[in-house]
């Protein structure tokens, strides 16, 4: 479930955006519920989840384009419930870019400043500067339909950041671009964020995009936050089955606790008894049935049982895929399906063949206990 940092009520001075118990109900379903979230100033924050998980709704509530059914949205410590979208210190880069088709690039970018009542000359100076920054200076007098996808994306970005918002919201900013351009722009976005020091909140369904760009990520599913943390935390120690499966791949092993010890337990699984270690704050210590997860690259595959007394099981290699730098194996471990990814670091012939008997070792530190 949700894991927020601050207690919900005291405004945090270092917070750019705070969501307190936010819920959004539409006529026939609940889009998001029980959201408690603090986004720090200057952070690159991502909301990651599959489509329909409520991440865009959350973003729109911060922008003021949608209003929470209950709970509070605070921007820079101020409750913005009664502040309309046009007065919030927040700007958005829309998924469709939403460039005004009847205006030139220059007029598009200057729109926000003009709405603030800034003078012509100053608008010109600022727009020129920002166009230089995102490298679209030569397109100033073009209309949006004459630009390529990547150029439109830059215009949309420039149009938002030129207003120097406290928070910049990005809704699937790279979703409409092809893979190569997406990679390039990922780096540019991060560089821009570092340079401007603006808080970025980015909505994406692309786990790789979130992992490479963000300081912190909130993984969302069905309207709530499953897990919040830095990229490495989320990948290395997913807390729920959903997070484990959504970020990368994860072997899932079901089992029941037979013997509890300090900081760990013995678990009976289809493969045999396994020893696992508990996280400090896990509630798994109290449960009898556990779901365990282990990343394929953490699974060790070897010909002999080795020295370990525990977590070592005989397997049969069912299928294999030779990728080059590594080989992916599908293993049968007494009826339990496991996948393993092994680096081909040896010199000479590599690994195992289909049908071959072997042993796997599942290191206790790599086994994580997942909530459902």
Partner 1 sequence: MKRNGPILSLTSILLYCFMYTPIVVVAIFSFNASKYGVAWKGFTTKWYGVLFNNEQALRAAENTLILASASAAIATLLGTLLGYGLSRYWFPRKKFVATLMYVPVVIPDILMAVALLMFYGLMRDALGIFELGLSTMIFAHITFQIAFVAVVVKARMVGMDPALEEAARDLGANRWNVFWRITFPLMFPGIMSGALLAFTLSLDDFVVSFFTSGPGSTTLPILIYSSVKRGITPDINALSTLMVCASVLLVAGVTALQPRKNYHEK
Partner 2 sequence: MEWRKERECIFGEQLSPLDQTLRSLRTSGPAIVWTTLFLFVPLLGIVFISFMSRGSYGELQLPLTFDNYSRFFGFGSFGFDPLYPYILLRSVLLAVGSTLLCMICALPLAFFIAGLSPRYKNLALTLVMIPFWTNLLIRTYAWQMLLSAEGLVSKIAQFVGLVGEGMPLYPSLGAVYLGTLCDYLPYLVLPLYASVEKIDWTIVEAAMDLGAGRIQSFRHAVLPQIIPGLAAGIVLVFVPATGQFIVPDLLGGAKTSMLGNSIAQQFGPSRDWPFGSAIAMSGILALMFALIIYNRILAKRGGEGLL
Q: Which residues bind partner 1 (CB under 8 A)?
A: 63-65, 84-87, 90-92, 94-96, 98-102, 111-112, 115-116, 144-145, 159-160, 163
The 59-78 site mask, x for binding partner 2 (CB under 8 A), equals ----xxxxx-----------
- Chosen from partner 1, partner 2, none, partner binding at 26 (C-beta under 5 to 8 Å by type): partner 2
52: left (phi over 0), alpha (psi -120 to 50) or beta: left
Query: Can you tell me which of 77, 78, 79, 85 binds partner 2, judged by CB under 8 A?
Result: 85
Residue 100 binds to partner 2 (criterion: CB under 8 A) = no
* Residue 51 lies near partner 2 (rule: CB under 8 A): no
Q: Which does 228 bind (CB under 5 to 8 A by kind): partner 2, partner 1, none?
A: none
Strands 326-333 and 336-343: antiparallel
* Site membership for partner 2, residue 27 (CB under 8 A): yes
Q: Using the rule CB under 8 A, is 172 a contact of partner 2?
A: no
User: Per CB under 8 A, does 13 bind partner 2?
Assistant: no
CB of 265 to partner 2, least distance (A): 47
Q: Which two tokens stand for residue 30?
A: 């609940």
Of 29 and 322, nearer to partner 2 (C-beta) is 29
**Rg of the chain over all Cα atoms, to the nearest angstrom:** 25
- Binding region for partner 2 (CB under 8 A) out of 11-19, 47-55, 79-87, 287-295: 79-87
Residue 343 touching partner 2 (CB under 8 A): no
What span, in angstroms and rounded, lies between the C-alpha atoms of 109 and 199? Answer: 20
Shortest Å distance, C-beta 115 to partner 2: 13
Q: How far apart are CA 360 and CA 117, in angstroms?
A: 68
Q: 229: how many CB neighbours lie within 10 A of its CB? A: 18
Where does residue 311 fall: left (phi above 0), alpha (psi -120 to 50 degrees), or beta otherwise? left
Given a contact cutoff of 8 angstroms between Cβ atoms, the answer to whether 195 and 26 are in contact is no
CA 101 to CA 124: how far, in whole Å?
20
Chosen from partner 2, partner 1, none, partner binding at 101 (C-beta under 5 to 8 Å by type): partner 1
Residues making contact with partner 2 (CB under 8 A): 26-28, 63-67, 84-86
């Amino acid at each position: 479930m949700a894991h927020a940092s601050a207690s919900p009520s005291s405004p945090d001075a270092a917070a750019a955006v705070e969501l307190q118990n936010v819920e959004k109900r539409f006529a026939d379903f609940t889009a998001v519920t029980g959201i408690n979230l603090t986004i720090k100033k200057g952070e690159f924050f991502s909301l990651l989840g599959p489509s329909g998980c409520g991440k865009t709704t959350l973003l729109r509530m911060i922008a003021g384009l949608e209003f929470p059914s209950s709970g509070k949205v605070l921007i820079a410590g101020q409750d913005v419930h009664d502040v309309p979208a046009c007065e919030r210190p927040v700007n958005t880069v829309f998924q469709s870019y939403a460039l005004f088709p009847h205006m030139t690039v220059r007029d598009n970018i200057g729109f926000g400043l003009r709405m603030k009542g800034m003078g012509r000359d100053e608008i010109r100076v600022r727009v020129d500067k920002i166009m230089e920054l995102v490298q679209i200076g030569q397109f100033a007098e073009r209309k949006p339909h004459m630009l390529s996808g990547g150029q439109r994306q830059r215009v949309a970005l420039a149009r938002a950041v030129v207003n120097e918002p406290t928070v910049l919201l990005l809704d699937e900013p790279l979703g409409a671009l092809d893979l190569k351009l997406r990679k390039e722009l990922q780096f540019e976005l991060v560089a821009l964020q570092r340079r401007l020091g603006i808080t970025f909140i980015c909505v994406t369904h692309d786990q790789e995009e979130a992992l490479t760009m963000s300081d912190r990520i909130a993984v969302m599913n069905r309207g709530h936050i499953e897990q919040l943390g830095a990229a490495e935390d989320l990948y290395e120690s997913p807390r729920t089955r959903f997070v484990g499966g959504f970020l990368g791949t994860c072997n899932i092993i079901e089992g029941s606790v037979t013997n509890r010890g300090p900081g760990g337990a013995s678990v009976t699984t289809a493969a045999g008894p396994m020893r696992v270690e508990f996280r400090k704050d896990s509630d798994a210590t109290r449960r009898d049935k556990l779901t365990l997860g282990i990343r394929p690259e953490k699974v060790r595959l070897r010909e002999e049982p080795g020295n370990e007394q525990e977590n070592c099981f005989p397997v049969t290699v069912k299928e294999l895929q030779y990728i080059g730098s590594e080989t992916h194996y599908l293993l049968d471990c007494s009826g339990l399906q496991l996948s393993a990814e092994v680096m081909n670091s040896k010199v000479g012939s590599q690994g195992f063949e289909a049908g071959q008997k072997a042993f796997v070792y599942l290191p206790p530190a790599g086994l994580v206990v997942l909530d459902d």
